[in-house]
Amino acid sequence: MKIDRVVLRIVPLRLRERFEVSSGAWQDRKIFLVTVHDGDRVGWGECVAAEDPSYSYETTETAWHLIRDFLAPLVVGRAFDDPAAVAEAMEGVRGHPMARAAIEMAAWD
């Protein structure tokens, strides 16, 4: 596969039921979707980071920044033998597993 481009989207979503944990409760979420394009083929991935850093240091905003400015440039324009090679191309970026997983999921899709 040769990744032509990576597209980032934030989709607002109202949850069917209020989601509650010890650190807070949510009725609305911002779902962060990533698409990886290879010619006419498109793979979808989701970054599961929350809007605030109460669960993890990663947030939708920090993941957006990491993907746009660091991770996407590592994979766009490159050819890969398989999706595992996409993950290997991003190994130089320390941490941020949710942002990296979003691109890897899209590559596997």
Count CA atoms within 13 Å of residue 11 on its CB side. 13
Phi, psi of 87 (to 5 degrees): -60, -40
pTM: 0.88
Residue with tokens 């941490």: 95
Centre a 10 Å sphere on the Cβ of residue 25 and count the other Cβ atoms it contains. 8
SS3 1: coil
Centre a 10 Å sphere on the Cβ of residue 18 and count the other Cβ atoms it contains. 9
pLDDT at 25: 84
How many residues in total does the chain contain?
109
pLDDT at 23: 74
pLDDT at 97: 96
pLDDT at 2: 95
Ranges of residues in the chain with a pLDDT under 70 are none
Mean pLDDT rounded to a whole number for the chain? 94
pLDDT at 54: 78
